[in-house]
Every structure is written in structure tokens, then in C-alpha cells.
Amino acid sequence: MRYAKFRLATLVGVAIPLSISCTAFAQSQEAQAGSNVAQAQSTTPPVAPSGSPSPMPPGMSSFTPDCLAFDNLNPRSEPAALPPSSCETLSPHLGGVRDALADNGIGFGAQARVMFSYDLFRRNANPQLYAGQDPTWGITTAAFVTYDLNRIGFTPGAQLTVDGEWQNSNFPESMPNLATVVILAVNQPLLNGQLELQYGYYPLLTEFYGLFFGGTPSKSTLGPVSIIPSEVGMSLEEPTPSFDVTVRSPNHHFYNHFAVARSQSPEGFAADVAENPTGLRLTVPGARAVFVDELGYKTEASEGRAINLRVGGIYNTSHYSRFTSLESATSNYGAYVAGTYQLTQPHPGMPNGLYLDIKADYAPPDRNLFTSDFQISLFDIGPIYGRPLDMISVGFSKTFFSSDARAVSAAFASTAAAANSTGYSISYAARIMRGVYWINSLTYTQNPTFAPKSADSLIFNSGLSLAF
């Protein structure tokens, strides 16, 4: 049974109880903070007209030319989930190991994260329906290796990335226990970056959309199943074989990004993890080709203000069960529009400042539990003088549940179902020292589950992130 889907053939004459766990994306605030702050960490100071570098904001003295040079070997394969600068790791040179690797065209980095969440309204329950309803913990470790393929005859800038991840939690419905290859891919820019190819295995959703920019408050309790592009088939937890083509205008501001990939399992992300535990399966049952196209406009902070406007469409050729019909849909589809805009720039040419992020998504209600949503967030990179790599974020989101699914819930399960879910969040990512972040967030959610309908939640989430 695909999280919210009923296969009505099994319901003829039998009422099957509905137990839908709209589980938490427990690390969403941490992932959001890491991705946004990575913009500041990976930015080289702009060059003044005189030719000398402009001064960095106070508190960024760790960024020196010798360790910034390592960033040329950081992975480019996940533009929506950038790693931190090598200057912002616990040991930028790793006792000379990173220098020796870089001399041979090899990049290396690793991260470890531990998190804890709990509902301050004390809604403990058995069985647990969402992360934090009972005390919930999770641990993730990941490491990457990159190689400069130009050294063996590829075009300049071509890069191989191998990335592995291990994670464990006491609520795998939200944060699955896995040990997997996350990325095995080649990124290949051509024509001075106006054409960019990427091919191999990687999570498709981290290539598009800007999932972590600004955060998604209600997703913190509704979970990864509620991210509509993932629900429609873009891979999130496990990689899928994919091929991307990005075409940019001569000034690199306008772009078209197209991909064809194997869909995530139409049974959902949990089934995808179960069917593809290593991350390297070419096929999984029921998963066919998915096509994604995104049009966008993007400028960097060094060009005045950072702007990222994008609109995308998804078409999945996999078969999906319908809520109110015995006949399966022969495809699934979705669309999104998103924009991120730098409102203030206290230090010219730098990404520090206040940002506005807005997203809206749609998927057809006859085959998708989560049928539409919109989100708005404000986040500030460097909100306190002398702390340019901290980040504070506030957000609001509203997610709408399928009317077809609600009708099925009422007719066959006699279970009260929510019509929508609303979330409000605030988070703060504090740089404790080079390579160490402490991220705390508070998320209030109205209707944290679809069915059975649950009382409102107030989730406190705390995470510690280490970069090596």
C-alpha cells in the first residue's frame, strides 16, 4: 500500500483500516541551514577595481587562499545540497593529506550529523505517527571523493564524484536506516559552462527545485513523502540512473535544465530504499522513466544580488494507483514554481544578508495524497555582527491533502482525515567553531498527520553537524 493509496480492488466488501503516517523529514531545518550557509562558505571575496580582494565580513578570517583552493575539487553534482568550504572543516589540510590528494586531482570531504526531536506538547503515542511524537534521534555520516577527469583526457572541468552515506534512527519511517552509495556520477561542463552534462547515479531532486533553500515548515512533520516532486517520482533518499543537460545563456543568467531518469518507486521513497539498498540498482519494480524540465534565471551575489527564479514540470511514465478507481493511471505528473531573492547585502558582493524564498507545487489529486502546497520563508545569513556564517530562518507553509483520499478514508475506514496541514517554524544555525554547527528549530504544525487526524504539534529539533 503506497502510504496513502488504497488499491480499491482489495476493498471490495472489506474495510481496511487506514493508518497513514505522514512522517517527519527530521533533518529538514539542518539541511536547510547547511545548504544556505554553504553559499557563504564557498564564496571567494570579490575583487575590487584595484585588483585586490575586497575585505571579507568580520568573522571570516578562516577563509584563506590555500584552503579555498581545495574548493575547486568539491562536488558539483548536487547544486541544491552544496558541501561546506574546505576552509570550514575541522582540519582544512587534514595534516597534509588534503594537499597531497589535491596535487593528484583528488578531492575529499566528510560530514557527520546527529539530531534529536520531540513534541513539546507531549503527544506520545504507540504506534508513533510522526518524528518527534515520541523522542526521536538520528545519526548520519557521509563522505565523498572527487577526481579531476581532465587528467585522463576528459574535457576541462569534468569531474567524477563518488559519495557514500550511512544513517540510522529510531524512527525509520521518517529517516530510513541505510548504508548506500548516494552519488556515482560525472559532471562535465562544456563551451565555457554554457552547456553542462551530468550522468550516472544521483538523487534527482537535489539537481532541481532548490529543496533546502528557505526550508519547508510543514514538511518537518509531514515528512519526505509530502515533498510533491518526490511524490511524483523524483528520487530523494536513494540515487537513480539519470542523465542531465543544462543549457545557459552567454551570461549564464538564463538556463534550461532537462533530465531523464529512472523514477523513484511509485510505491514511495520507503519502498525505493527497500528495493535499492545499495543505491546502484538499474531498475526497481514498477519504476519507469521520469522526465523533468526546469527553466530559470539566476544571478550570483557577486553580481549585485543573488536571485534564483525557476519553474519546472515533471512527467513520470510509471503506473500509479488511483484512489477512487480500479484502473491505474498510466502516468503521474507535477509542476512547481519557486523563487529565492536576496533582499539585503550588507557586504558588497557577498551572499550574507536577508533572503525571501517562495515555492508552490501541484500534483493531480486522484493519484497523489499531497496535491498542492505553498511555502514562504525568510532567512538571514550572518544576522549578528561578527557571525557571518550563522543563519536564522522563519517560515510558513500550507499543504493540501487529496479530496479523493479523504473521501476514501471516510467511506472505507471511517477515519477522520485532515483537509490540509499548516506549519510555522523558526530555526537558528550557530557556528560553534570551524567545522561545527549547532542547529535548533521549533516547528508548530496544525494537523501533523492526514489520518487518523492528530492534535497540533510543537516539535523541537536540535542537531549537531561536523565537517571534516
Segment 418-442, tens digit of pLDDT: 999 999 999 999 999 999 999 999 9
Q: How far apart are CA 351 and CA 353, in angstroms?
A: 6
Q: Which residue type, as a one-letter code, is found at position 442?
A: L
Burial (Cβ within 10 Å: 0-12, 13-18, ≥19) of residue 35? buried
In this predicted structure, the answer to whether residue 413 has a pLDDT above a threshold of 80 is no
Hey, what domains does the chain have and what are their CATH numbers? Answer: 8-467 (2.40.160.180)
C-alpha cell at 295: 527553466
Going by pLDDT thresholds of 50, 70 and 90, the confidence category of residue 60 is confident
In this predicted structure, the answer to whether residue 447 has a pLDDT above a threshold of 50 is yes
Q: What is the pLDDT of residue 4?
A: 32
H/E element holding 383?
A: none
For 156-167, b/e burial (b = at least 16 CB within 10 A) is ebbbbbbbbbeb
Q: Are 268 and 3 in contact (CB under 8 A)?
A: yes
Which pTM was predicted? Answer: 0.88
Q: How far apart are CA 249 and CA 468, in angstroms?
A: 36
- Mean pLDDT is lowest, of 55-64, 310-319, 419-428, for 55-64
pLDDT in tens, 283-293: 999 999 999 99
DSSP codes of every residue in 131-177: TTSS-EEEEEEEEEEEEEGGGGTPPTT-EEEEEEEEEEES-TTTS--
pLDDT in tens, 208-252: 988 766 555 545 567 677 899 999 999 988 999 999 999 999 999
